[in-house]
């Protein structure tokens, strides 16, 4: 950290836990770990996640763990969008993460 500079600060981590319990129904798990650098001077970045397969028949359901981090106190307007296509996305938000300022 640079003293007095709130534009170059970031630190964080993400923990995803996967466990097995023989008394529960069998599940299929896929994991993709990666990072995408987005800078304030770059155009919007689109990342496509591919290569996941689903069963041919049967009911489908899923969960996703998504981690987006921003640490600059003097920046706002950053957001994370998620959806089935780049034209059909919704802004992600949570109790501590507004949709327009991660």
User: What percentage of the chain carries pLDDT values higher than 70?
Assistant: 84
pLDDT at position 78 is 77
Q: Rounded to an integer, what distance in angstroms lies between the CA atom of residue 50 and that of residue 91? A: 20
Q: Rounded to an integer, what distance in angstroms lies between the CA atom of residue 49 and that of residue 46? A: 10
Provide the number of structural domains found in the chain. Answer: 1
Dump pLDDT digits (tens) for 40-83.
777 888 888 787 777 788 888 778 887 877 766 677 777 888 88
For 25-51, what is the mean pLDDT?
79
Other residues' Cβ atoms within 10 Å of the Cβ of residue 93? 14
Domain that holds residue 68: 1-102
Model confidence pTM above 0.85: no
Q: Which of these ranges, 2-6, 33-37, 91-95, has the smallest mean pLDDT?
A: 2-6
């Amino acid at each position: 950290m640079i003293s007095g500079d709130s534009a170059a600060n970031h630190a964080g981590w993400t923990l995803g836990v996967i466990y097995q319990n023989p008394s529960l129904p069998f599940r299929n798990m896929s994991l993709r770990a990666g990072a995408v650098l987005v800078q304030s001077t770059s155009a919007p970045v689109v990342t496509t996640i591919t290569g996941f397969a689903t069963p041919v028949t049967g009911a489908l359901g899923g969960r996703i763990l998504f981690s987006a981090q921003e640490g600059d106190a003097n920046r706002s307007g950053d957001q994370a969008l998620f959806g089935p296509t780049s034209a059909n996305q919704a802004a992600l938000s949570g109790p501590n993460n507004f949709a327009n300022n991660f």
